[in-house]
Amino acid sequence: IRMSDVFRAHNEEYAALIAEAKGPKERMALAKERDRVGADLAAGRDRIRNVHGFSGDTQMRTPPASRPRRSASTT
């Protein structure tokens, strides 16, 4: 199973449900549910890849070099 296929099927199923929805409130609720379920799928995928919780920003993973100097100079 490819995750791209899972995400595509997920989006297609919710698109059909949203198209059949009776009113704007129901469509909005389904859209929010689609987003929550999609986030859960992505989190599961990331856990399997062992990257869950990592930031895409590489600077978030490496502390700035000035941090040790700042803490040493305050004492």
pLDDT at 49: 83
pLDDT tens sequence across 14-51: 999 999 999 999 999 999 999 999 999 998 888 888 87
Question: What pTM, to 2 d.p., does this model score?
Answer: 0.64
Residue 49's CB is within 10 A of a number of other CB atoms, namely: 10
Number of domains in the chain: 1
Residue 5 clears pLDDT 90, i.e. is over it:
yes
CA–CA distance from 21 to each of 18, 28, 45 (Å)? Answer: 5, 9, 29
Predicted confidence at residue 47, as pLDDT, reads: 86
Kindly write down the DSSP assignment for every residue of the chain, as one continuous string.
--HHHHHHHHHHHHHHHHHH-SSHHHHHHHHHHHHHHHHHHHHHHHHHHT-TT--S-HHHHS--THHHHHHHHT-
| Parent domain of 7 | 1-52
Q: Confirm whether 38 is domain-assigned.
A: yes
72 inside domain: no
Q: Is there a domain that residue 71 lies in?
A: no
